[in-house]
Amino acid sequence: MFRNEIDTVNGQLREDLERMGLAYIQDREGKAVICQMENNPPASPAPSVMPALLLNNEGYRITITKENITINAASGKGMYHGLQSFRQLVLSEYKGFQEEGRFNESNFSLSCGEIIDYPRFPWRGFMLDCSRYFYSITFIKHIIDVLSLHHINRFHWHLSDDQGWRLPVPEYPLLTETGSLRKDHRMPWIPFTGGFYSEEAIRNLVEYAAKRHIDVVPEIDLPGHASAILAAYPDLGCTGGPYHVEDRFGIFEDVLCAGNNRIFDLIAKVFDSLVWLFPSSYVHIGGDEVLFNRWKACPKCQKRLSELGLKKPKELQSWITQRLVTMLAERGKTAIGWDEVLEDSQQFRLPKETVVMSWRGSKGGIAASKRGHPVIMVPNTEGCYLDYKHIDDPEEPGQTFNIISTVYKSYCMNPVAPQMTEEESSQILGGQCNLWSELIYAGKIAEYMIFPRLCAVAEAVWTPPENKNFDDFSRRLITHQKRLDLLGLLQYRGPLR
Ligand code: ACM
Ligand code: ZN
């Protein structure tokens, strides 16, 4: 029982303790920590907590007595979360950097007590943009491991954008041969930068994440943010090109031609590759920031518009979205789209099961919940965009879209908007934070942008609002940042609000 969880955490603890300068010696019986299937409701605390713990298969209970440590859970997920909380306790025993003398076994102790814990939301995510900056698999694995320490359970992998295509698709080899490389004008001495993830690397990463109970959700951004696709297959654009993989950052006019049926041939093969490589039941189809000027001027798009009886070129996006959602449903997958997919969809209604990811504040998510869609909240206005500056200081790295994302703001994020009815709030799957990588030139910079704001969002999507307290979080953060130091992560250390 719990073989995967025990083996995975054994490996993590071995590395953690080595980082502390300690040897990892397993109890001869392997029973320093007892992992038990939850079959009896725990005897304490208040009974009202119990049904939630038992119903929620991500819940766990840790009991520390003088004799032993017991972790109870009803599932592997719950056990893994329990073991990660235990791992946090172990990591916080590292007195490390600022205390005199080396850490040793004699001052390693855990307090006796009981923890009963379970999440508020089933979707607790983090998105990494691997198009604008091409992160190594080694880096992503390290981040995934640390995500799981924070009970994050979804890794949203942004695999395509104007600046690079990262997914191998055997039937369309130019997507990676041409679309994964860009001329980086900051580094004129290097012919091209970029790359793509091999099938083997992707499988390996998905397996690594699965062992940590993290679902890897791939995103292919369609029909905009498509410069890399067009550079590879120029006949799929309205003008025919020439196109190139973008090195500038922004929103570009060239998108997939809505009048060309061959775009769906390519998308079908892309989806086949995703189905082949990713076991997740979700695929993210993007849909954000599509410009319509090319569709206005393109005879093929105009023909399509009149055939469909549509008036505005913008409506073609909802027609495309509906097709993509159906193509995914045929492959057993549920589509997720950025909140733009909800717009102008009177004629081609967005299928109910489509998940809407609300990024332009919460309004898209609120509207989607009213229309019965499952919703994931990632409001850029509420601390969920980790590419924004931590504070208003010209020397801080980060985007300057007039939005500052303090740690405090990230902590206050609440996936349920105050004006939502009970029915609407029941549509909320959870929330996440995103790291876009336009201004990221190395994984270390990414770490600085991610931590500790991710810690704040992780708590916001796990803990019920009545148990949140920023002062308490700030105090715990002092210990937590030492844990992250020990894991080798670069962190922002400035003002929290
Ligand atoms: C987005 O930030 N363009 C989804
Ligand atoms: Zn066109």
Across the strands, what pairs with 123? 430
Ligand 1: does its nearest atom lie under 6 Å from the Cβ of 288? yes
Ligand 1: does its nearest atom lie under 6 Å from the Cβ of 396? no
User: Does 204 score more than 60 pLDDT?
Assistant: yes
Q: What is the DSSP letter of 123?
A: E
What is the distance between the alpha carbons of residues 179 and 160, in angstroms, rounded to a whole number? 9
- What pLDDT does 47 receive? 39
Locate the ligand 1 atom nearest the alpha carbon of residue 380 and give its number: 2
Produce one character per residue of 411-427: b if its CB has 16 or more CB atoms within 10 Å, e if not.
bbbbbbbeebeeebbeb
Over residues 251-271, the mean pLDDT reads 98
Ligand 1: does its nearest atom lie under 6 Å from the Cβ of 233? no
Over residues 483-497, the mean pLDDT reads 96
Could you tell me how many helices (H) and strands (E) the chain has, helices first?
17, 16
Residue 240's pLDDT band (boundaries 50, 70, 90)? very high
- What pLDDT does 45 receive? 42
Q: Which of 20, 233, 437 is nearest to 12 (CA)?
A: 20
Q: Are 216 and 205 in contact (CB under 8 A)?
A: yes
Cα angle 412-341-438, degrees, rounded to a multiple of 5: 60
- Cα torsion 413, 416, 417, 422 to 10°: value is -160
Q: What is the DSSP letter of 485?
A: H
What are the tens digits of pLDDT across the range 444-460?
Answer: 999 999 999 999 999 99
Ligand 1: does its nearest atom lie under 6 Å from the Cβ of 253? no
Q: Are 116 and 42 in contact (CB under 8 A)?
A: yes
Pairing verdict, β 164-165 and 160-161: antiparallel
Residue 236's pLDDT band (boundaries 50, 70, 90)? very high
- What pLDDT does 56 receive? 62
> By alpha-carbon position, which residue is closest to atom 2 of ligand 1?
359
- What pLDDT does 468 receive? 98
Q: Which candidate in 161, 221, 447, 459 is catalytic?
A: 161
What are the tens digits of pLDDT across the range 39-74?
Answer: 654 444 443 444 454 456 899 999 999 988 999 998
- What pLDDT does 98 receive? 42
What are the tens digits of pLDDT across the range 399-409?
Answer: 988 899 999 99
Q: Is the dihedral of CA 358, 335, 165, 448 positive or negative?
A: positive
Separation of CA 261 and ligand 2 centre (Å)? 10
What are the tens digits of pLDDT across the range 355-395?
Answer: 999 999 999 999 999 999 999 999 999 999 999 999 999 99
- What pLDDT does 42 receive? 46
User: Does 31 score more than 70 pLDDT?
Assistant: no
Helix (H, G, I), strand (E, B) or coil at 447: helix
Locate the ligand 1 atom nearest the alpha carbon of residue 385 and give its number: 2
Across the strands, what pairs with 33? 69
Residue 33's pLDDT band (boundaries 50, 70, 90)? confident
What are the tens digits of pLDDT across the range 85-139?
Answer: 999 999 987 765 445 445 555 567 788 999 999 999 999 999 999 999 999 999 9
Q: Are 153 and 431 in contact (CB under 8 A)?
A: no
Over residues 230-253, the mean pLDDT reads 97
Residue 225 is among the residues annotated as catalytic for this protein? yes
Separation of CA 252 and ligand 1 centre (Å)? 13
- What pLDDT does 29 receive? 64
Chain-wide mean pLDDT for the chain?
92
